[in-house]
Amino acid sequence: MTMENRGVPRHIAIILDGNGRWAKKRMLPRNAGHAAGSKNVEKICAAAWDMGIEYVTMYAFSTENWSRPKEEVDALMKLLHSYLKDCLKTSKKNNMQVKVIGDISRLDKDLQERIIELEEVSSKNTGLHFQVALNYGGRDEIKRGITAIAKEVKEGKLLPEDIDEKVISEHLDTNGIPDPDLMIRTSGEQRLSNYLLWQLAYAEFYFTDVLWPDFSKKDLQKAVEFYQSSDRRFGGVK
């Protein structure tokens, strides 16, 4: 371990931003930026595990990303196919458990099958818990969760007065996963962009101007040091 475990966040959530700008700065097509960003995922996951972080969740493709130009979306889907194939090998090599959050029903059948296979193959791994948000949106996740709860109430399986935060959390994509302690967004933007709206209620937010493909282990250490220096009160007084 390169850092002390004490004070290290158990779960970090990352918004991978800046791939397009990284490519533009190098006079490359946007897709080259996405490819470079994809390659950086494994490095940061390995660095996080080395620091003692147990859970990493990354925002890979949002429900809003479908509105991008068709050629860019097609290229992203092609990259996802390739990444999920590589992730099968990576999860085995790094003993990593992988879970996809989001509504995968809009993805093509081959992608859905790859996701199911990856989750099944890696389910017994005991290393880093890695969550990938695909076709994910925080509002959509909450809507799907509320719809499921309403169905259970209608069927008499759940009483309205029994609905509490625990019940709601159990109906979200992240059921069984601890809420993030730290949210990192690269590229200088300072907004959540519909990411983990329920789960980030008490997380510390760290924003950096570094573009995602350039985000390094050293940058991750800076984010963790920021977290360690924060005074987490969870609404109380110390």
CA distances from 154 to 160, 171, 179 (A): 10, 16, 29
- The closest alpha carbon to 138, from 41, 62, 65, 42, belongs to 62
Residue 60 in any domain: the answer is yes
183-186 contacts, C-beta under 8 A, 24 or more apart: 183/12, 183/13, 183/14, 183/15, 184/12, 184/13, 184/14, 184/15, 184/208, 184/220, 184/223, 185/14, 185/15, 185/17, 186/14, 186/15, 186/16, 186/17, 186/18, 186/210, 186/211, 186/212, 186/215
Active site residue 103: no
Domain CATH number, residue 39: 3.40.1180.10
The whole-angstrom separation of Cα 150 and Cα 38 is: 38
The two beta strands, 204-207 and 182-185, are: parallel
Q: How confident is the model over 129-164, as pLDDT tens digits?
A: 999 999 999 999 999 999 999 999 999 999 999 999
Residue 68 in any domain: the answer is yes
Model pTM? 0.92
Residue 159 in any domain: the answer is no
The whole-angstrom separation of Cα 97 and Cα 127 is: 7
Count how many domains the chain has: 1
Residue 118 in any domain: the answer is yes
Q: Active site residue: 50, 65, 103, 125, which one?
A: 65
Residue 167 in any domain: the answer is no
What does the block give as tokens for 54? 């147990």
Q: How confident is the model over 77-129, as pLDDT tens digits?
A: 888 888 888 898 899 999 999 999 999 999 999 999 999 999 999 999 999 99
The two beta strands, 55-62 and 97-101, are: unpaired
Active site residue 164: no
Residue 111 in any domain: the answer is yes
The two beta strands, 204-207 and 55-62, are: unpaired
Contact of 15 with 64, CB cutoff 8 Å: no
The whole-angstrom separation of Cα 46 and Cα 86 is: 15
Furthest-apart CA atoms within the chain: distance in Å: 59
Domain of 106, in residue numbers = 11-137+179-226
Residue 19 in any domain: the answer is yes
Residue 59 in any domain: the answer is yes
Q: How confident is the model over 2-16, as pLDDT tens digits?
A: 444 448 999 999 999
pLDDT band at 233 (very low <50, low <70, confident <90, very high): low
